[in-house]
């Protein structure tokens, strides 16, 4: 599981983005930039803890060609590590 990056989030969790997950994000959500994911994990405007193994991080980014402005980064706890599953733009932070 090769990594693109590992960052420490706002709450102290170490979160990793793998090459495989980055390839998925770039293919299915081409408007998302790697730097935006890192910023969202480090300085989110909102964190939703869905359960003890799944967390949503949100941040606002203004893109002139995208109507949805909030980046949602979905992170899961798997194999004793926090991993980015996907990242995509949404209309709101709910």
**pLDDT > 70: percent of the chain:** 97
Question: For residue range 37-83, what is the model confidence (pLDDT) as tens digits?
Answer: 999 999 999 999 999 999 999 999 987 677 778 999 999 999 999 99
Domain ranges of the chain: 3-90
Angle (CA) 5-10-15 rounded to 5° is 30
Task: Decide: pTM greater than 0.75.
Answer: yes
Which residues have a Cβ under 8 Å from the Cβ of 68 and sit 6 or more positions away? Answer: 89, 90, 91
């Amino acid at each position: 599981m090769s990594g693109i990056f590992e960052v420490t989030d706002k709450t102290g969790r170490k979160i990793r983005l793998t090459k495989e997950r980055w390839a998925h994000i770039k293919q299915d959500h081409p408007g998302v930039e790697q730097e935006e994911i890192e910023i969202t994990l480090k300085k989110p405007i909102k964190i939703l803890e869905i359960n003890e193994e799944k967390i949503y991080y949100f941040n606002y980014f203004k893109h002139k060609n995208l109507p949805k402005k909030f980046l949602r980064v979905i992170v899961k706890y798997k194999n004793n590590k926090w991993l980015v599953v996907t990242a995509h733009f949404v209309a709101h932070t709910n």
